[in-house]
Amino acid sequence: MRRQVTVCYKAIAAFAGAGALAFGVVACGSDETPTDIVLVTHDSFVISDDVKQAFERESGLRLRILQSGDAGELLSKALLTAGNPQGDVLFGVDNNLLSRALDGDLFEPYESPLLEQVDEDYALDPEHRVTPIDHGEVCLNYDKAWFSERAVEPPRSLDDLADPRFENLVVVENPATSTPGLAFLLATVARYGEPGWQDFWRELRENRVLVADGWEEAYNVRFSGAAGKGERPIVVSYASSPPAEVIFATPRPKEAPTAVVEDSCFRQIEFAGVLRGTRNGEGARKLVDFLLATRFQEDVPLSMFVFPVNRSAVLPPAFTKFAVIPENPLELPAADIGANRDRWVKEWTSIVLR
């Protein structure tokens, strides 16, 4: 990785100095050899160095990672380049966007032998164009200290949010602009059905729910339990946020400062797939296998704060201690989501924002 970067810096210099376009292009372009494998993914993707090296050692391929914005941008660009992809494997399509990806004919089918170690619940595409890699649950989080200091009962369920007790206390993300925001909207659809979910949101609006554009703002700025020390003690975040608050605190607290409302969780599954038009199909399949193997699967909790789908992966202690894996998360069929998502978001916008 480092060597390649150096070469290209030289290319930049050559280009700039001589103004010679072609030379720069060729210098960089020729760096791409068939022994490379390119993983196209979103900005949240993280892999530990030693895990990456393990893959490169085992496969003899150099793994290059191409990050391409958030999940939405990633998919947009993948759709734009369908058939002549930017890389060999794409990781980072979740069940909310899955139907869009499959309709766009992005992937070549591949059934990894390692799927044996994965619960069938996760494998949403019977044709195996995509392979489940991890799952994370979008849940209400609350600030434990805020509630204990005021001797107020924290919320126990989704229903509670409509209670006047929680007026002015909740911050959610806009489903039109945020992945967890969309997941939470889907959670309410899954729980209350139509038209129940619309009524529920009207009540939330009565209760002065605050809508943030992105998770960053909701969690880091508005939420009282995180670094921003905001004013709202209830936020839509992830089931893995409490352990993150422990791991990234100095000094490390004995217990998590935040907790999850288990009843509110909606499952997001992230998939990987071999991109149609890959220049290295065999390597791509090797990479998908690797993403499913325990080495990588045991890496994901601490690197990306999601849970592995592989049954035999062992969770790190911080997760077993501070994280909750909801037993019966809310779910919706990917096809339903694909068919109705835009309409739901539009309705939500007119109910909550207009």
Partner 1 sequence: MSARTWRGLTYGVPLAFLALFFVYPLVSIMERGLSSGDDLAAAIDVLTEPLTREVVWFTVWQAVVSTALTILIAFPASYVLGRYTFRGRGVALAVVTVPFVLPTVVVAIAFLAVLPERLERGSAAILIAHVFLNVAVVVRVVGTFWAGLDPRVSEAAATLGAGPWRSFREVTLPLLAPALAAAASIVFLFSFTSFGVVLILGGPRYSTLETEIYNQAVRMFDLRAAAVLALVQLVCVALAVWAATRLEAGLAVGGWRGREQDVLRPLRTPRERTFAAISLGALALFLGVPLAVLVERSLAVGGGHGFEAYRALGKPTNALLATPWEAVVNSIVYAGGATAIALVCGGLAAFAVAGSRRGGTRLLDGSLMLPLGASAVMLGFGFVIAFDTEPIDFRSLPWIVPVVQALVAIPFVVRIVAPTLRAIDERQREAAAVLGASPGRVRREIDLPVAGRALGVAAGFAFAISLGEFGATVFLARPDSPTLPVAIFRFLGRPGELNVGQAYALAVILMVAVALSILVIERLRRDRVSWF
Within 92-151, the residues that bind partner 1 by CB under 8 A are: 100
User: In the chain, helix, strand, coil percent, each to 5?
Assistant: 45, 20, 35
CB of 76 to partner 1, least distance (A): 5
- Interface with partner 1 by CB under 8 A: which range of 72-80, 150-158, 290-298, 307-315? 72-80
Q: Cα–Cα–Cα angle for 77, 80, 81, nearest 5°?
A: 90
Look up tokens 């670094």; give the residue.
227
Point out which span in 148-156, 196-204, 224-232, 318-326 binds partner 1 (CB under 8 A): 224-232
For residues 284-318, b (16+ Cβ closer than 10 Å) or e, as one string?
A: bbbbbbbbbbebbbbbbbbebbbbbbbeebebeeb
Residue span 18-37 as binding mask against partner 1, x where in contact by CB under 8 A, dash where not = -x-xx-xxx-xx-x------
By the rule CB under 8 A, 353 interacts with partner 1: yes
237 lies in the site for partner 1, by CB under 8 A: yes
- Nearest distance in Å: CB 244, partner 1: 4
**Stretch of 1-9, 110-118, 148-156, 190-198 lying at the interface with partner 1 (CB under 8 A):** 1-9
Of 117, 147, 163, 177, the residue at the interface with partner 1 (CB under 8 A) is 177
Q: What is the DSSP letter of 116?
A: G
Q: For partner 1, which is the closer residue by CB, 49 or 127?
A: 49
Stretch that binds partner 1, among 114-122, 245-253, 287-295, 321-329 (CB under 8 A): 245-253
* Residue (8 or 123) nearer to partner 1, CB: 8
Q: How far apart are CA 41 and CA 350, in angstroms?
A: 33
Number of Cβ within 10 Å of residue 136's Cβ equals 25
Q: Which residue has the tokens 């992830």?
A: 238
| Subset of residues 2 to 21 that bind partner 1, contact rule: CB under 8 A | 5, 8-9, 11-13, 15-17, 19, 21
Which residue, 308, 267, 272, is CA-closest to 129? 272
Q: Which of 56, 59, 77, 159 is the binder for partner 1 (CB under 8 A)?
A: 77
Please select the residue that binds partner 1; options are 54, 59, 62, 66, rule is CB under 8 A.
Answer: 66
Q: Which is nearer to partner 1, 18 or 311 (CB)?
A: 18
Degrees, nearest 5: CA angle 145-187-124: 125
Number of residues that bind partner 1 (CB under 8 A): 79
Instruction: Select the span of 65-73, 113-121, 146-154, 265-273 touching partner 1 (CB under 8 A).
Output: 65-73
Q: Which residue, 294, 326, 314, 274, is CA-closest to 85?
A: 274
Residues in 249-288 at the binding interface with partner 1, rule: CB under 8 A: 249-251
List the one residue from 58, 73, 153, 282 that touches partner 1 (CB under 8 A). 73
Q: Identify the three-state secondary structure at position 172.
A: strand
| Interface with partner 1, residue 326, by CB under 8 A | no
Nearest Cα to Cα of residue 138 among 59, 290, 240, 62: 240
Nearest approach in angstroms of CB 309 to partner 1 is: 19
Minimum distance from CB of 141 to partner 1 (Å)?
A: 9
Q: Which is nearer to partner 1, 277 or 326 (CB)?
A: 277
Distance of alpha carbon 340 from its chain centroid, rounded? 21
**Taking the complex as a whole, how short is the minimal distance between the CB of residue 35 and partner 1, in angstroms?**
16
Query: Rounded to the nearest 10 degrees, how much is the dihedral formed by the CA atoms of 13, 18, 24, 26?
Result: -140
Q: Give the H or E element holding residue 15.
A: helix 2-18
Using CA atoms, how far residue 279 sits from 14, 84, 173, 274, in Å, is 28, 9, 39, 11
Neighbours of 46 (CB within 10 A): 15
Q: Given the rule CB under 8 A, which of 126-134, 238-246, 287-295, 316-324 is the region that contacts partner 1?
A: 238-246
